[in-house]
Structure 1
Amino acid sequence: MKSVNEIYDEKVCRIQTTIRHEEPDTVPVMTLAESWVLGYAGHKITDVEEDPELELQCFKKMCQEIYCDMVYTSALTRDITIYNPMEGSPYFYSSDGVTVQHKEYVFMEADEYGKLAADPMKFVLNELYPRMYPALSKPYPENLEALKKAFAAYNRYLQKMMSSAVRLKEDLGMPTIVEGIAISPVDILMSYFRGLRNIQCDFRRNPQGIIEAADALIPLVIENIRHGRQSLESDSCFLIPTFLPTYMSAKQFEKIYWPSFKKMVDQIAALNGKMLIFMEGSWEHLYEFVNEIPKNTAITILEKADIFKAKDLIGKTVTLAGGMPLEQLRYRGRQECLDHAKKVVDYCAPGGGFIFTNDKTALAPNDVNIENLKAVNAFVHEYGKH
């Protein structure tokens, strides 16, 4: 019987081999799930809010009962307790008691791009944060106490994320593919400062302001993942969630979004880092840009994509992750899901550069039929052997 370390090394080798566009011993399988694991284990988010060990046990249950070579996260990536002391949060719990939602969060005015570009840290700390978090506008020492409590919660969150990945590795030999997050500068502007509706207006009224502000944010994004390191080389990747590209034309994307995004991914690649780019929505109209990403440095999760077309058009540049529509796993029969999985593996596995997974993250309790998920993951692990 293989040791836990041998299992871990075998799975990491599988991942790294396919990122290099070489054929691994079998097609790597990833389970793309987050808050869904709570419902699967019979819990709600309030059950684990102050209990990281219970949260870990929920993730371990999934890893023990559903075959996979990696998880994209070993813990919940959103923690509302960080924001509670500051009396403002971009997140809230859904009525199902399991999922977390992001709400429109607009605190930056249309004419403030110049301030942000001139000195991002000064503008964010002195002007935006007091607007975003009412407790920071309270008199001293109330504001300081709120900040201390928020930092303490944030440190607990970081410790949870690190320790849960270590526990999955040491207890189960399970790699956690994400070690940190690098949000695209234009997506930062949308998600935290201007909101989706406002930034779409800014695309037309002030594109240059967006471009300059996004450029100014790049050093902060890179330093946030470097933490002083000279190399980012590791067994894991930096998650790059993308929100706006699916709403942009190719012309808008090329002018406004792509310049800062390309600089960011080039710098991560130059530091020997690997990336997990979550291409939300459809990127099919942007594939020519994807082929400019440094080869063999990125895994791309394709949310709404024809996986076969993606294999032909971008499969030699980036590693494709996807192929199994979450809707099929939820609504279709077992054999239909297995037939689809076979078709995907036959087309996408040759030559490496492919990871089999569901195309969207399982979040809500009823997002997936568990028996279908178990069946397709186990099938691909066996059938995908070269």
Structure 2
Amino acid sequence: MEKPANWSELSWEQKREVRFQAWRDAEGVKFINNEAEESYKTRVERFIKAIKLEKPDRVPVMLPVHSYPANYGGSNFHGMMYDYEKMRECWIKFMDDFGDMDTFSGPGLIPSGIISEAMCSKTTLLPGIGLPENSPTNQFVEGEYMSPDEYDLLEMDESDFNIRTMLPRTTGLFESFRKLPPLRMLQGTAWITALADPDIRKTFQTLMDLSDEYKRWTSANQEIRNLVLSRGYPPLMGAGLMAGAPFDFLADMLRGTRGISQDMFRRPQRIHDFMERRLKMNQAAIKDFPITISPIAMMPLHKGDDMFMSDKQFDEFYWPTLKATFLAMIEEGIVPMPFAEGRYTLRLKQINNTPPSGVVWYFDQTDMELAKKTLKGICCLAGNVPTSMIMTGTPDEVKAECRKLIETCAPGGGYILAAGASVEKGDINNLRAMMESAKEYGTYK
């Protein structure tokens, strides 16, 4: 769907309504029957009303399934990385057996095993690639990949630094890129000269060889995504823009926890300078972001929780550029959905100054009663049934927790029932208990 000609003249609410309508319309989706299409529209409207702090027919539910269908279908994360036909079977089996869900998505977060092997990433471990094959999910390997004396290089030419320094340092496939001359010098025949190096040539040849596997992987995922949509399950997370906090990019990908902790005291201006540049990049990408089937921008947040930094540090380093990213999204009609990993109970008083209904806060371990009191009328809330309870508890325990959350957060609208994080294994009846709870306790009169 194209943006209307008068896009720049619309208010942010009007732009958001255009994106909401694209979500409702699901242009190009071939539903299996009229019932699936009607269910899709009902489910989408349920989320839209919750986001707008209105009362839908009942509380919508985000089931924490992630790679759960793989294990439920007799495989696992590792198996899905290689066997795309089995992946398709697992997703179909889960949909057949589970039935009614407010949202569901394909296995797009499960990467190709063949490509992952070739990449030799030092920052990501996967089942069978750095982890035991039966590991339930991937693991990020944080490190101080950029030293403090490299801030100058990063600031001078970030693209050059990323390609000639960071890629070789963090990804085995790109070790040959250390030999590349500065990118600002690569013009015309200089590229041919660079490709004459056998190691660089091998890297590019490997990338070209992997393109067929990438097409196979994307085709398999697209097929499953279309199957999910055709049955009336709307996409939520992962269907639109993915973004993050500028501070987290520096902390997660470059400096690491120890490095960024030191920098907050020893090099605060370096952090601010980087975040301002990253913010401008975010704003440019947001400005150009098209209208997609889902207007939700999922934003995992890592270093802003109560345990990592003080209130003062959050106000100085974390919140200003994160809030500015939110506002840029809101202005373009996009709905930022920050996933506040860890605990944000102390942060609630600091994140309550965004436009009403502009943000959906998805909480992991935050005090939801206090969140409702602090953010009522400002933000839609999502969360936070303990993942451990869903994986190891009983359906009755899950329903009791869901009822407590619904009675605390649902009054007045603006609540989405969700877990604190995703699950890969566990009793499917615990997931059913979440849906049943929304229907039994989350209906608006």
Q: 1:167 to 1:379 in 2, by over 3 A?
A: same
For residues 269-310 of structure 1, the C-alpha deviation after alignment (integer angstroms, 9 at most, x for no partner) is: 111101221100011111123212333232222111221221
| Corresponding position of 1:85 | 118
The correspondence of residues 45-124 of structure 1 with structure 2, limited to 5 A, is 45-66=77-98, 67-71=100-104, 73-79=105-111, 81-92=114-125, 93=127, 94-95=131-132, 96-124=134-162
The reply to whether residue 10 of structure 1 matches residue 48 of structure 2 is: no
| Corresponding position of 2:18 | none
The correspondence of residues 1-386 of structure 1 with structure 2, limited to 5 A, is 3-66=35-98, 67-71=100-104, 73-79=105-111, 81-92=114-125, 93=127, 94-95=131-132, 96-138=134-176, 139-149=199-209, 162-170=222-230, 172-178=231-237, 179=239, 180-224=241-285, 228-229=288-289, 232=291, 234-246=293-305, 247-363=308-424, 365=425, 368-386=426-444
Instruction: Give me the whole-angstrom Cα distance separating, in 2, the residues matched to 1:330 and 1:167.
Output: 27
Q: 1:59 to 1:252 in 2, by over 3 A?
A: farther
Q: CA deviation at 1:233?
A: 6.7
Q: TM-score, normalised by structure 2?
A: 0.77
AA paired with 1:87? C
Instruction: Give me the whole-angstrom Cα distance separating, in 2, the residues matched to 1:82 and 1:200.
Output: 34
Q: 1:223 to 1:65 in 2, by over 3 A?
A: farther
Q: CA deviation at 1:81?
A: 4.5
AA paired with 2:428? I
Q: Does the aligned pair in 1 maintain the 2:91–2:224 contact within 8 Å?
A: no
Q: TM-score, normalised by structure 1?
A: 0.88
Q: 1:107 to 1:337 in 2, by over 3 A?
A: closer
AA paired with 1:133? T
For residues 149-206 of structure 1, the C-alpha deviation after alignment (integer angstroms, 9 at most, x for no partner) is: 5666666655555554332111x20012022311222211222222222222222221
SS at match of 2:322: helix
For residues 335-357 of structure 1, the C-alpha deviation after alignment (integer angstroms, 9 at most, x for no partner) is: 33323322322222122110111
Q: CA deviation at 1:107?
A: 2.2
Instruction: Give me the whole-angstrom Cα distance separating, in 1, the residues matched to 2:216 and 2:147.
Output: 33
AA paired with 2:304? P
Identical-residue share of aligned pairs (%)? 24
Q: 1:335 to 1:313 in 2, by over 3 A?
A: same
SS at match of 2:297: strand
CA RMSD in angstroms, aligned pairs only? 2.6
Q: CA deviation at 1:374?
A: 1.3
AA paired with 1:206? R
| Corresponding position of 2:12 | none
Unaligned runs of 5+ in 1: none
Larger CA deviation: 44-53 vs 305-314: 44-53
Q: CA deviation at 1:254?
A: 1.1
Q: 1:207 to 1:384 in 2, by over 3 A?
A: same
Q: CA deviation at 1:252?
A: 1.0
Q: Does the aligned pair in 1 maintain the 2:153–2:161 contact within 8 Å?
A: yes
| Corresponding position of 2:4 | none
SS at match of 1:260: helix
Larger CA deviation: 6-15 vs 124-133: 124-133
Q: CA deviation at 1:131?
A: 2.0
Q: 1:134 to 1:370 in 2, by over 3 A?
A: closer
Q: 1:91 to 1:174 in 2, by over 3 A?
A: same
AA paired with 1:30? M
Q: Which has the larger radius of gyration?
A: 2
AA paired with 1:91? T
Q: 1:56 to 1:267 in 2, by over 3 A?
A: farther
SS at match of 2:411: coil
Instruction: Give me the whole-angstrom Cα distance separating, in 2, the residues matched to 1:225 and 1:159.
Output: 26
SS at match of 1:12: helix
Q: Does the aligned pair in 1 maintain the 2:380–2:415 contact within 8 Å?
A: yes
Instruction: Give me the whole-angstrom Cα distance separating, in 1, the residues matched to 2:360 and 2:221.
Output: 21
SS at match of 1:113: helix
AA paired with 2:148? A
Q: CA deviation at 1:251?
A: 1.0
Q: Does the aligned pair in 1 maintain the 2:115–2:213 contact within 8 Å?
A: yes
Unaligned runs of 5+ in 2: 1-32, 177-198
Q: CA deviation at 1:6?
A: 1.0
Q: Does the aligned pair in 1 maintain the 2:81–2:110 contact within 8 Å?
A: no
| Corresponding position of 2:187 | none
